[in-house]
Amino acid sequence: MRLLFVNYEFPPVGGGAAYASLATARELVVMGHQVDFLTSATPGAQKDEEIDGIRVFRVRCHRRSVHDIGLLGALSFLAFAVPRLRALAKHNRYDACHYYFGLPTGVLSCVPGAHRASPYIISLRGSDVPGYSPDLRTLHYFMLPITRRIWRRAHRVIANSQDLRRLAAASVPGLPVDVILNGAKMPETLPRDVRQRPEGRILTVSRLIERKGLDTLIQAVARSRDRMLHLDIAGEGPEGPALRQLARSIGVADRVRFHGFVDRARLGKLYANADVFTLVSLAESCSMAMLEAMAAGLPIVATKVGGNVELIEHNVNGLLVEAENIRALESALSALAADSQLRMRFGAYNRALIEQRYGWRSVAQQYEAIFKEIAATPQTPESEVESNPRIPQRRSIDP
């Protein structure tokens, strides 16, 4: 099959969805499919190139930073992507289009052009679902009619966690939403001796935004009586200055290291040198960083929110705590830091879990089944979808 992936984010720019979309596309190419990828340009990258058999087409985009596109950036991506999308669809007969994020990327499915002759699926990632990010509440309120139109006209709408599916269902009642979790790649080697040392080196990989709850994490480290507890924070974002000031003000600046943006090679070293991975978000769909930490054999401490509870079973492969509970978080971190055997047991379970259930080939196979279903499904005329908004699966749209 010939497929078109569209995502306004592409490594190294963006968060987990950027890496998830690229990893899925790679697997589909290995499985014998042709994949074109339309995305935004990144600093220093070629405009168009081929990566592992994927033809990557880039357009201009004015981002705020590596992890933050902003409203202007989203609008600029849409503006520059429209003519490129039309040209690609005009010269290539795509069996299906795969839009990552209902907003902003999915808006392109509404734009007139040859691409509308191909059925499409939408992968929901979190921030594009109303109610997920409080800071986007106003935007989602005004965009809700467009969001509903995009979802209803899709052949399939796919969330990356059960919790995100429930949230999406609240916005469009009666619309079927499937779930395909993210995956992770198994690292080739794992330094087992690191997991047995007495020092407690905690790692979190996250955008520095309020929803990630990093202030709670820093305060938990400060509350611990274990002076060997150290925290590595990989990522950048608007909360960076405030979080650094917090670490200084409560006397743990010497035990909290801010690494800023970390490329994939250095990130692998951080996973290898950590003892515990923690994710203390107030809301989370399906964390790519946590899956990668699990693949690296790390035990997990995570909050009982969203997709976290779908990956972590308390006292089996990690510890779960209530969000914003500093005392409970500190207790969980200290318990794992002090018990190397428990860390080893959780870590071994996590590696096996990723290898058996959450590899990228498994993710790609689930998407492949949907694309094959599209190829075997009769087209639904656009007029029928417009007259009956309850039709949950959009087959094809004439230009």
Q: Is 149 strand, coil or helix?
A: helix
The predicted-structure confidence for 104-149, as pLDDT tens digits, reads as follows 999 999 999 999 999 999 999 999 999 999 889 999 999 999 999 9
Number of Cα atoms under 13 Å in the Cβ half of residue 271: 29
Question: pLDDT category, 196, cuts 50, 70, 90?
Answer: low
Q: How far apart are CA 260 and CA 209, in angstroms?
A: 13
Q: How far apart are CA 342 and CA 349, in angstroms?
A: 11
The predicted-structure confidence for 334-346, as pLDDT tens digits, reads as follows 999 989 999 999 9
> CATH code for 192-357?
3.40.50.2000
Closest CA to 66 of 45, 44, 43: 43
Q: How far apart are CA 102 and CA 58, in angstroms?
A: 19
DSSP result, 298-362: --EEEESSTTHHHH--BTTTEEEE-TT-HHHHHHHHHHHHH-HHHHHHHHHHHHHHHHHH--HHH
pLDDT in the model for residue 389: 45
pLDDT in the model for residue 171: 93
pLDDT in the model for residue 295: 96
Q: How far apart are CA 331 and CA 306, in angstroms?
A: 22
pLDDT in the model for residue 393: 44
The predicted-structure confidence for 370-387, as pLDDT tens digits, reads as follows 999 999 987 655 544 444
Question: pLDDT category, 246, cuts 50, 70, 90?
Answer: very high
Please give the single-letter amino acid code of residue 24.
T
CB 95 within 8 A of CB 74: no
CB 22 within 8 A of CB 5: no
pLDDT in the model for residue 197: 54
pLDDT in the model for residue 39: 96
Does residue 396 carry a pLDDT above 50? Answer: no
Q: Is 72 strand, coil or helix?
A: helix
Q: How far apart are CA 232 and CA 256, in angstroms?
A: 6
Which pTM was predicted?
A: 0.88
Question: Which segments of the chain belong to CATH 3.40.50.2000?
Answer: 2-183+360-387, 192-357
CB 288 within 8 A of CB 16: yes
Q: Is beta strand 178-179 parallel, antiparallel or unpaired with respect to 200-205?
A: unpaired
The predicted-structure confidence for 30-89, as pLDDT tens digits, reads as follows 999 999 999 998 777 778 999 999 999 999 988 877 667 888 889 999 999 999 999 999
CB 151 within 8 A of CB 165: no
The predicted-structure confidence for 311-336, as pLDDT tens digits, reads as follows 999 999 999 999 999 999 999 999 99
Mean per-residue pLDDT for 177-193?
Answer: 80
**Among 90-104, 348-362, 375-389, whose mean pLDDT is lowest?**
375-389
Q: Which residue has the tokens 């009586």?
A: 225
Question: pLDDT category, 263, cuts 50, 70, 90?
Answer: confident
Q: How far apart are CA 108 and CA 140, in angstroms?
A: 17
DSSP result, 45-66: --SEEEETTEEEEEE----SSS
Does residue 194 carry a pLDDT above 80? Answer: no
- Whole-number mean pLDDT of the chain? 90
pLDDT in the model for residue 191: 52
For residue 98, give the H/E element and its range: strand 96-100
Mean per-residue pLDDT for 169-185?
Answer: 95
> CATH code for 2-183+360-387?
3.40.50.2000
